[in-house]
Amino acid sequence: MDVIPFITYHLVKQDDLNHHGTLYAGRCADWFVECGFIAAASLTKPEHIVCLKIHGLLFSQPARLGDILCFESKIVYAGRTSLMAHVQVIKREKSLLEGYITFIHANLKGKPMPHGITINPTKPEDIQLQEKAKRLQAETQ
């Protein structure tokens, strides 16, 4: 299957700020994982998705009170039991951060199980994201 993007939005509220008055990284990480989970859960049953690893979050600019953040996630790589999402966060048409998350497809006892999903990107940018995801996957093993 081709890469399918999922979009979610979050408004940065007072409770989301750190002591510097910018978005608390932990809150953003929560939203980041949630958005990646939505993309993974769209391909299989949500109860079979477990987060294994966040492959880094690098902020290129701060988010402040009142900012509306756009989270775009898509599954760009599928291993035998894993799914890797690429998530990009955009603020006012500029990238705020991006990264990858690996999820494991597991049974209800938490044991990895094959999902039978194949990702075949057709757009050049999605092919590049998949190539990077493959390198990250190799580092994880």
Q: Is residue 83 part of a domain?
A: yes
Q: Is residue 135 part of a domain?
A: yes
d(CA 109, CA 139): 26
Q: Is residue 112 part of a domain?
A: yes
71-128 confidence digits (pLDDT tens): 999 999 999 999 999 999 999 999 999 999 999 999 999 899 999 999 999 999 999 9
How many domains does one find in the chain?
1
Q: Is residue 1 part of a domain?
A: no
CB 133 within 8 A of CB 119: no
Q: Is residue 29 part of a domain?
A: yes
Q: What is the CATH number of the domain that holds 107?
A: 3.10.129.10
Segments forming the whole domain that contains residue 97:
6-140
Say yes or no to pLDDT of 1 above 80.
no
Prediction pTM value: 0.92
15-67 confidence digits (pLDDT tens): 999 999 999 999 999 999 999 999 999 999 999 999 999 998 888 999 999 99
d(CA 132, CA 125): 11
CB 58 within 8 A of CB 97: yes
How high is the pLDDT of residue 141? 67
Q: Is residue 133 part of a domain?
A: yes
Residue 2 CA, chain-centre distance (Å), reads: 17
